[in-house]
Structure 1
Amino acid sequence: MLDYLVLYQSESGNTKKIAASIFSRLPGNSKDLIDIDTDKTIPEANVYFIGFCVHRGSCSMEVSDFLSDLSGKQIALFGTCGMGDSPEYYKDIAGRVSAWIEADNDYLGYFICQGKMPQKVRMKYESMRTNENNDQIDRFIQNFDLALTHPDDLDVEHAKVFVDHMLKKIQL
């Protein structure tokens, strides 16, 4: 059994980048980094760092199913989200995703940062523009443009600080 498993799902590479930084920060050699979509053989671990890309304020069914199946583990969540840098929104997302964690696990905490979105999202925003929603669409497009550089170096550093905080809570 591994000490640490960093398991993630990433569609655009955002969550993969954060997963790699989390993995690099974990101590020792009893650890692995696995993409849930490409490797269906998931080893058992004492501590799971589980990453996801946010869709409609939550994680995918694959991630929620995996979380639901864990028992007696220590779990930390991390994710990337296209919508703006909002601690309140990130807390809501973490609450929805952590609801899938069974009570016999030890939920350690979460880290969520902004991530870039595919260009088709900006095109969708532009196609939705009407006279009534012009200001809202402008805000969506502005957020899209700001997200293009994320996750950035500061996001990666924040992910490493997150790992340091989680390591203080972990009991191996």
Structure 2
Amino acid sequence: MLDYMVLYQSNTGNTKKLATAIFSALPGMSKDLRSIDELSDLPEARTYFIGFCVHRGTCSLEVGNLLSSISLKNVALFGTCGAANQDNYYQNIENSARIWLEDDNHYLGGFFCQGKMPQMVRQKYESMLTGDEKHDYHLKMQMLNFDEAMIHPTKADLSHAEQFVKECLTKELPK
């Protein structure tokens, strides 16, 4: 059994970047890093770091099913989303994904940050503009958020992910 298993699902590469930073921050050699989409079964580990890209405020069904299959382990969540960089939004994401996790696990916490979105998202916003100031205000705010998200995850985001690992390690249940 490994000490640490970092599993992630990443559509755009953002969450994979976080997963790699988290993996690098974990101590020792008894660790592995894998894409959830390539798993045939759950590798055995003492502590899991599970990452996902956020869609509609939560994790995918595949990630939810994976979380619900974990029992009696240390578990931490992480992920990226294109939406605004707001702690309360990230807390809601964490809570909605954590619901899948069985209560017999020891939850270590969650880390979320902004990530760039595919260009087609901005194009969709642009196509919805009508020229009416009231109608377009929200869409223009979404486009500003899109533009800000293009630089994420940043070096600072990756550094925060590494700090998150250090915090999680202090909360782990002993071997």
TM-score by length of 2: 0.96
Residue in 2 that maps onto 1:136:
138
Measured on the aligned residues, the alpha-carbon RMSD in Å equals: 0.9
- 1:97-112 alignment to 2 at 5 Å? 97-112=97-112
Q: Which amino acid aligns with 1:134?
A: D
Count of residue pairs brought into register by the alignment: 172
Shift, 1:128, TM fit:
1.5
Unaligned 5+ segments in structure 1 are none
Between the aligned partners of 2:107 and 2:39, the Cα distance in structure 1 is 24
Q: Deviations over 1:95-137 (max 9, x none)?
A: 0000100111111100000000000000011112232421111
Report 1:5-84 matches (<5 A).
Answer: 5-84=5-84
- Aligned residue for 2:3? 3
Match of 2:158 among 156, 159, 168: 156
Fraction of identical pairs, as percent:
55
Which string of whole-angstrom CA distances, capped at 9 and with x for unpartnered residues, describes residues 72-101 of structure 1?
011000000100100000000000000100
CA displacement 1:114-168 (0-9 Å, x = unmatched): 0000000000111122324211111000000000000010000000000000000
Larger deviation, residues 44-53 vs 122-131: 122-131
Matched position secondary structure for 1:48: strand
Q: Which residue of 1 aligns with 2:87?
A: 87
SS in 1 for 2:37: coil
For residues 28-73 of structure 1, give each alpha carbon's deviation from its aligned partner in whole angstroms, at most 9, with x where no partner exists. Answer: 1110000011232431101000000000000001100000111101
* Counterpart residue type for residue 96 of structure 2: R
The residue aligned with 2:122 is 122
CA distance in 2, matches of 1:147, 1:23: 23
Query: Which residues of structure 2 form unaligned runs of 5+?
Result: none
Could you say what secondary structure the match of 1:72 adopts?
Answer: coil
Q: Which runs of 4+ in 1 moved over 4 A?
A: none
More moved, 31-40 vs 68-77: 31-40
1: CA distance, partners of 2:135 / 2:33 = 43
Q: Which residue of 2 aligns with 1:147?
A: 149
